[in-house]
Chains A and B, each alone.
Chain A
Amino acid sequence: MLKDARIAQISFLALFLLLGISTRDWTLRPELLAVLGASCLGMQWVTRSLLPTLRHQPGVKLWAIPSWESALITGLGLCLLLRGNTVATMALAGGAAIASKTLFQYRDKHFFNPANFGIIVALLLTPDAWVSPGQWGTQAWYLMLFVGAGGLVLRWVGRWETSAVFLATYAGLEAVRMFALGWTADVYLHKLMSGSLLLFALFMVTDPRSIPNARQGRFVWAAAVAWLAFLLQEEFFVSTAMFWALFALSPLTPVLDRVWPSARFQWQEPESCATAPSLIHGLGSLE
């Protein structure tokens, strides 16, 4: 049995990255991938080891990267999604992604999905960053792989209903639109059978550390993200609508947590009650 679901998630994301490079005609530059990984792990070290040490916080080891798994997941997510031309763009995205966990917290819980935050920062602040929504195509084989892998991880962390609500809302809105416009069913299916949409729904919108704690909160939240993504995509023709929707609605998380309070998600069961609070405090998060 693996220690926590993050290891499974790292394996799946690494598998997708390998598949993308080998079968999907992506031309990724290895040095940019390395920069993404290094900047995520580096910023994790700065925010979780270096700064706490300088502040003389007890129990922090300077030579370790606490929760490196989370930083690696963020890095892999960025490798899969974000494209750019320069090292600086990638370093900015990776650094901003991890720094957002420390910078944007409410009651010790960060509410931006780190990888998504990094993507938006790069899209906003640099001229050369982009995301390719068409990069996976619509082949069923990949979609099944994503659903299988995503399902496993989500069952493990108990967040599958977030994906389900997101996808159902999005598919429902698209269905209404398609019906109203009079497009045929194959147009509808083609829209939904997008590998990028599924990856987003299964691996990004479900990050247990930054989404609402209570089930009701997650329902509302996932439906809202789907609605905004649909609106931006179909009415404003934004090709990266999903990422903007998630970014814009992330600050809703603390609000929903207040409306429906519930226990925080933890990657690992605390080993002892005494150490739990300080350990959980700011523990790394998944993407």
Chain B
Amino acid sequence: MIFMCKGWRSLLASLLAIVMFVGMAPAALAFCGFYVAQADADLFNQASQVIIARDGDRTVLTMANDYEGELEDFALVVPVPVLLTEEQVHVGNPDILKRLDEFSAPRLVEYFDSNPCEPQMLRMPSAVPAPAAAEADSVGASSDRSLGVTIEAEFSVGEYDILILSAKESSGLETWLRQNDYTIPTGASEVLHPYIRQDFKFFVAKVNLEEINADEPQNLRPLMMAYESPRFMLPIRLGMLNANGDQDLIIYLLTPSGQVEVTNYRTVKIPSDTDVPAFIEDEFGEFYQAMFQTAYEQANKEVAFLEYAWDMSWCDPCAANPLTPAELREAGVFWLNSGRGDEPRIAPTPFPQPGAVNAYITRLHVRYSRDRFPEDLAFQNTGNTQNFQGRYVIRHPYRGEMSCSAADQYRKAVRERQEQAGNTVANLTGWSKTEVYSKIDWLTERSPRRPWWRDLWN
């Protein structure tokens, strides 16, 4: 068997179509916290991506968000469970999110039938990443004790100016933010209140414009924070404040071993391992988007979808090479015992590498809205080591010359298989069967049915 990666760019492009679609539906805000516009700039962010690397209570949270807008207009406010100091905050490498995304993305695999009259075999997979991300914000600050707001820390990291605030009253915090020129979404005070009561601090980031080179594309890098807390959760409530409609969030959870699952919502596997017609290769983005939406609606819009769960030392088929120990460390994996990080990785293989990295990835895709996800996401690490991936299979029929008795049988089998794949796609996506059938490149046309009476009188 030969594995080859193929169709990367087109698939990436089609997946970007997903992102665009997702982004256009809601005038969305950030996942964990909210973006705060200082001027009423157009807010536009795509599917949010988060990495949570966790071992015991130790956590490294990486937040990336696609923010496209004026940099000076933005600020990010995120509740954090502990008081963070300067050395706990770091600016990450955006490529790591891309690497994780590519490694764990739902994948399309192609197999090519051999000539049934002379057996041989060749197959090749291609892969599919999902949304991309960047990060953004801006702030203006001064404190007012009378409002009960304390600036616990103030520092700059990379292109960001960071404030760590604690507050006694949500109304005080809201007033403080307004006085300091942050445009707070309405209803913020109500949602800030529970976090203050639980002694959360507020991580406020804005862009330090002096650090940004005006000549370069303004891709904001992900913000990372390392902390120790028994809370294994992701605050999503603030991010819903001025969003109308569904928001997409992709969470990469990295642990030493075993899957992570959501404890206060169901964790459901995305439909996988199904045969799809060949035309899906050109429409994989649309297919995945439609299938996700259908599954989301069928699950009553209140579940987290598992898209990938795998030991990070290997993959089968590989959508992208497994991350090197150095890359894993950049993703926040702090427990790797062996890796100094520079050693070249073994080529991806369908077999587990003994002694390889002790890291396990769970990729969850949550599409959430205020009414179906009232609570923040809570997670737990489990001992579950059953691997799972979103995998869709195209089986190309043999289209060359066939001259043997097995050919008829083969054509019939292919016809059935193509019909089956078409039906599956129609069911999974909600597309009409007629439309799907019309796009299938049938190996044989269906023979017109012979009217039953013809044999009676002829």
B266 touches A190 (CB 8 A): no
* Inter-chain contact B197/A134, CB cutoff 8 Å: no
Among B267, B374, B384, the residue within 8 A (CB) of A130 is B384
A30 within 8 A of B: no
A84 interface contact, C-beta 8 A: yes
A239→B377 CA distance, assembly (Å): 12
Bound-state Cα–Cα, A137 to B230, Å? 23
* A58 contacts partner chain B, Cβ-Cβ < 8 Å: no
| Nearest chain B CB to A75 CB, angstrom units | 20
Say whether B230 contacts A237, CB under 8 Å.
yes
Contact A134 B194 (CB under 8 A): no
Please provide the chain A residues from 152 to 203 with a CB less than 8 Å away from any CB of chain B in the complex. Answer: 180-184, 186-187, 189-191, 194
The residue of chain A having its C-beta at the shortest distance from the C-beta of B388 within the complex is A27
Q: How long is the Cα–Cα vector from A184 to B371 in the complex, in angstroms?
A: 12
Whether a CB of chain A sits under 8 angstroms from the CB of B190 is yes
C-alpha spacing A236/B265, complex, angstroms: 19
Partner of A85, one of B264, B375, B378, B383: B383
Q: How far is the CA of A39 from the CA of B194 in the complex (A)?
A: 46
Q: Which of B170, B263, B264, B380 contacts A190 (CB 8 A)?
A: B264
Point out the residue from B170, B194, B232, B384 that lies within 8 Å of A183, measured CB to CB: B194
Distance (Å) between the CB of B414 and the closest chain A CB?
31
Interface centre among B190, B232, B262, B383 (most CB of A within 10 A): B383
Contact status B300-A139, CB under 8 Å: yes
Q: Which residue of A lies closest to B194 (CB)?
A: A181
- How many Å lie between the Cα of A182 and that of B383 in the bound state? 35
- Residues of B367-412 whose CB lies within 8 A of A: 371, 374-375, 378, 380, 382-386
Evaluate contact between B380 and A239: CB separation under 8 angstroms: yes
B266 touches A137 (CB 8 A): yes
In the bound complex, how far is the Cα of B438 from the Cα of A222, in angstroms? 63
**Cβ-defined contact, A182 with B190, below 8 A:** yes
B residues within 8 A CB of A128? Answer: 258, 383-385
List of A residues within 8 angstroms of B170 by Cβ: 182
Q: Residue B102 at the A interface, CB < 8 A?
A: no
B383-A194 in contact (CB<8A): no
Return the CB mask of B263-290 against A: 1 if under 8 Å, else 0: 1111111000000000000000000000
* Residues of chain B within 8 A of A181, CB atoms compared: 193-194, 197-198
A47 / chain B contacts, CB cutoff of 8 Å? none
Is B302 a contact of A83 with CB atoms below 8 Å? no
* Binary flags per residue of B247-273, CB closer than 8 Å to A gives 1, else 0: 000000000001001111111110000
Partner of A135, one of B231, B266, B371: B266
Task: For B300, give the chain A residue with the smallest CB separation.
Answer: A139
B19 contacts the other chain (CB 8 A) = no
State how many residues of chain B have any CB contact under 8 Å with chain A.
Answer: 32
The tally of residues in A whose CB lies under 8 Å from a CB in B reads 33
Q: What is the minimal beta-carbon distance from A225 to any residue of chain B, in angstroms?
A: 19
Q: How far is the CB of B173 from chain A (nearest CB, A)?
A: 13
Q: Which residues of B contact A180 (CB under 8 A)?
A: 197
Cβ of B236 under 8 Å from chain A? no
Is there an interface contact between A137 and B384, defined as CB atoms closer than 8 Å? no
Residues on A with beta carbons closer than 8 Å to the beta carbon of B263: 132-134, 239
The proximity string for A residues 114-134 relative to B, scoring 1 for CB distances below 8 Å and 0 otherwise, is 000000000000111110111
Residues of B within 8 A of A132 (CB): 261, 263, 267, 382
CB of B11 within 8 Å of the partner chain: no
Q: State whether the Cβ of A102 lies closer than 8 Å to any Cβ in chain B.
A: no
- Give the shortest distance, in Å, between A156 (CB) and chain B (any CB): 31
Closest to A130 in B: B382
Judging by beta carbons under 8 Å apart, are A134 and B269 in contact? no
Contact assessment for A134 and B264 in the assembled complex, using a CB-CB cutoff below 8 Å: yes
How far, in angstroms, from A137 to B301 measured CA to CA in the complex? Answer: 11
Say if the beta carbon of B303 comes within 8 Å of chain A: yes
Docked complex Cα distance between A181 and B190 (Å) = 10
Q: List which A80-104 residues lie within 8 A (CB) of chain B.
A: 83-85
Interface centre among A133, A180, A194 (most CB of B within 10 A): A133
Cβ distance B273 to chain A, nearest Cβ, rounded Å? 12
Closest B residue to A185 using CB positions:
B374
Least CB separation from B257: chain A residue: A127
Point out the residues of chain A lying under 8 angstroms from B232, CB to CB.
Answer: 237
Q: How far is the CA of A227 from the CA of B293 in the complex (A)?
A: 40
List 20 additional contacts besides A181-B198, A182-B197; criterion CB under 8 Å: A25-B266, A83-B382, A85-B383, A128-B383, A130-B382, A132-B263, A132-B382, A133-B380, A134-B262, A134-B263, A134-B266, A134-B267, A137-B266, A137-B302, A181-B193, A186-B371, A186-B374, A191-B264, A237-B231, A239-B378
Please name 18 pairs of A and B residues whose Cβ atoms are closer than 8 Å in the assembled complex, sorted by A: A27-B386, A83-B382, A84-B383, A127-B383, A132-B261, A132-B267, A133-B263, A134-B263, A135-B266, A137-B265, A137-B302, A181-B193, A182-B197, A184-B374, A189-B374, A190-B375, A237-B231, A237-B378
| Chain A residues proximal to chain B, CB less than 8 Å | 24-25, 27, 83-85, 126-130, 132-139, 180-184, 186-187, 189-191, 194, 236-237, 239
Please name the 8 residue pairs, one residue from A and one from B, whose CB atoms are nearest each other, closest first: A128-B383, A130-B382, A182-B193, A181-B194, A137-B266, A186-B374, A239-B380, A239-B263
